[in-house]
Amino acid sequence: MSDQPTFFDELQYPSGDPRRPYEDFHAWFSGEDLKRLKKKSSEAETFFRRTGITFNVYGEAEADERLIPFDIVPRIISEREWARLTKGIEQRVRAINAFLYDIYHRQEILRAGRVPKELIASNSAFLPQMVGVTPPGNIYTHIVGVDLVRTGEDDFFVLEDNARTPSGVSYMLENRETMLQMFPELFTKIKVQEVSDYPTRLRRSLAACAPAATSGKPVVAVLTPGIHNSAYFEHSFLADNMGVELVEGHDLRVVDGRIAMRTTRGYKPIDVLYRRVDDDFLDPLTFNPESMLGVPGIMDVYRSGGITIANAPGTGISDDKAIYSYMPDIVEFYTGEKAILKNVPTWRCSEADSLAYVLDNLEELVVKEVHGSGGYGMLVGPAASKKEIAAFRAKLKAKPDNYIAQPTLALSTCPILTKAGLSPRHVDLRPFVLVSPNKVDITPGGLTRVALKKGSLVVNSSQGGGTKDTWVLGE
């Protein structure tokens, strides 16, 4: 086994001196009473409970609704760090959009041999129904969440791309609101860039993607699967804060070639539908005939240019973890530039040599399902028991195409507040990106997820992780 890795500490240098982004916060914290801060931490939990910010854990009946733990110590990013990140994120998001247009049209990247044809043809996230369909403004990925991890001062990696229906933005907004209420004095001492205007930016960006059939001010609505969905709070929160209707499939129907929602004054056409329903359930006439969540006929209206669906059906192919391993090629193919943000080295278990390497080194690797999310169905080798490794070895041999593997990265740490004071924990970051025909708009901050358990590298809320407010410093 290798020596214990050293982790990049975002708070301070090995000498104990604070890093520049944390200098003002560190000076403030040093003058604070720990008891007062712990009391504030309890107040934050009460605030979240009162607001109703919960998520559901599927398959755990006794824990239907949970609070995601919130840590009151912010994660702080300098303006210089953020400028570099945004440049890399914009490059990547533009490349993803170009890739989606290409694979549903001429498939130049497949003809050039930069991505294997079979990786698309046999992929359940690729929708043949989208071939030849051009979404309004050529935008497929209206909202993207790019998961980033850090291993050094200037070393950021993209862990995964979330281009289907990225969630978590409501936590970014409520985390900031909570911090503003609890520590207003901090925001007068430290200039932090705003995130609270995200709903306004989201509505503006969606409206800019309205279809040609739109007349007058675009009508936007949010489509939710309903109250039993794990992210229902977020659907409701975003609709409310954008000032638009929250609708379910049964509220919508096709009227005169448009998708219209039921109102007290009859049916009103919708121009842009921000859907939080998966592809398979979107239209029972096109996809799953058993679906009760979608709208019969919506795909016909979409194909004829009568509505914008955000994100476009079929975008899931771009956040497939096997496709992820080709992202450096994808970025270079469509932009003519090397990728600014690095990928995590990835072994595709579908390839015999890679599979052999992964099976020989399971104890040191992280293995993930190609279509997995939420931290489910993965193996963290260094933290797994011999029994878990043996079980996973059998899964890999039985269905190698279903998995990719990556090295266990030495993720950076940020401090959390514990009974004894500040203590480092591993973190990742999900910035939220809005894409319209004229603009890529990246909110300065994002959702920092933190592994609250000492030594744990798994930050997912479904696996016991928490969240932090993310501060991008202003001038």
**Alpha helix (H) ranges present in 2-75?**
23-30, 34-51
**Chosen CATH of 212-306 out of 3.40.50.11290, 3.40.30.10, 2.60.120.260, 3.40.50.720:** 3.40.50.11290
Q: Are 299 and 286 in contact (CB under 8 A)?
A: yes
Backbone angles phi, psi at 382, to 5 degrees: -60, -20
pTM value > 0.85: yes
**pLDDT value at residue 2:** 41
Q: What class does CATH assign to 346-408?
A: alpha beta
CB neighbour list of residue 205: distance below 8 Å, 6 or more residues apart: 142, 434, 435, 436, 439, 441
Backbone angles phi, psi at 63, to 5 degrees: -130, 50
Burial of 227 (0-12, 13-18, 19+ CB in 10 A): exposed
Q: Shortest CA distance to 92 belongs to which of 354, 387, 327?
A: 327
364/414 Cα distance (integer angstroms): 24
Q: Are 56 and 65 in contact (CB under 8 A)?
A: yes
**pLDDT value at residue 62:** 43
pLDDT in tens, the chain (475 residues): 344 558 999 999 999 999 999 999 999 999 999 999 999 998 988 888 777 665 554 444 444 556 788 999 999 999 999 999 999 999 999 999 999 999 999 999 999 999 999 889 888 899 999 999 999 999 999 999 999 999 999 999 999 999 988 889 999 999 999 999 999 999 999 999 999 999 999 999 999 999 999 999 999 999 999 998 888 989 999 999 999 999 999 999 999 999 999 999 999 999 999 999 999 999 999 999 999 999 999 999 999 999 999 999 999 999 888 899 999 999 999 999 999 999 999 999 989 999 999 999 999 999 988 876 655 678 888 888 899 999 999 999 999 988 999 998 889 999 999 988 999 999 999 999 999 999 999 999 999 999 988 888 777 766 678 999 999 999 7
Q: 3-state class of 188 per DSSP?
A: helix
How many other β-carbons are positioned within 10 Å of the β-carbon of residue 127? 22
423/464 Cα distance (integer angstroms): 17
- Residue type (1 letter), 339: A
- Sequence spans of domains, the chain: 212-306, 346-408
378/124 Cα distance (integer angstroms): 20
**pLDDT value at residue 83:** 96
**pLDDT value at residue 63:** 44
Strand partners, 379: 367
208/213 Cα distance (integer angstroms): 13
**pLDDT value at residue 51:** 75
**pLDDT value at residue 61:** 45
Sign (positive or negative) of CA dihedral 97, 458, 429, 345: negative
Q: Are 437 and 141 in contact (CB under 8 A)?
A: no
- Residue type (1 letter), 278: D
How many residues comprise the chain? Answer: 475
**pLDDT value at residue 123:** 86
How many other β-carbons are positioned within 10 Å of the β-carbon of residue 108? 14
Percent helix, strand and coil across the chain, each to the nearest 5: 35, 25, 40
The DSSP call for residue 452 is: -
168/367 Cα distance (integer angstroms): 24
464 Ramachandran zone, left/alpha/beta (phi>0; psi -120 to 50): left
How many other β-carbons are positioned within 10 Å of the β-carbon of residue 224? 23
DSSP assignments along 122-167, one per residue: T-TT--GGGTT---GGG-S-SEEEEEEEEEETTEEEEEEEE-SS--
How many other β-carbons are positioned within 10 Å of the β-carbon of residue 40? 17
Output the six-digit token pair for 224: 């939710």
**pLDDT value at residue 1:** 36
Q: Are 397 and 359 in contact (CB under 8 A)?
A: yes
56/229 Cα distance (integer angstroms): 7
Long-range contacts formed by 358-365: CB under 8 A, 24+ apart: 358/396, 358/403, 358/405, 359/393, 359/396, 359/397, 362/389, 362/392, 362/393, 363/1, 363/389, 364/1, 364/2, 364/407, 364/408, 365/405, 365/406, 365/407, 365/408
Q: Are 115 and 109 in contact (CB under 8 A)?
A: yes
95-to-148, 228, 322 alpha-carbon distances in Å: 17, 35, 16
**pLDDT value at residue 375:** 58
N- to C-terminal Cα separation, the chain? 45
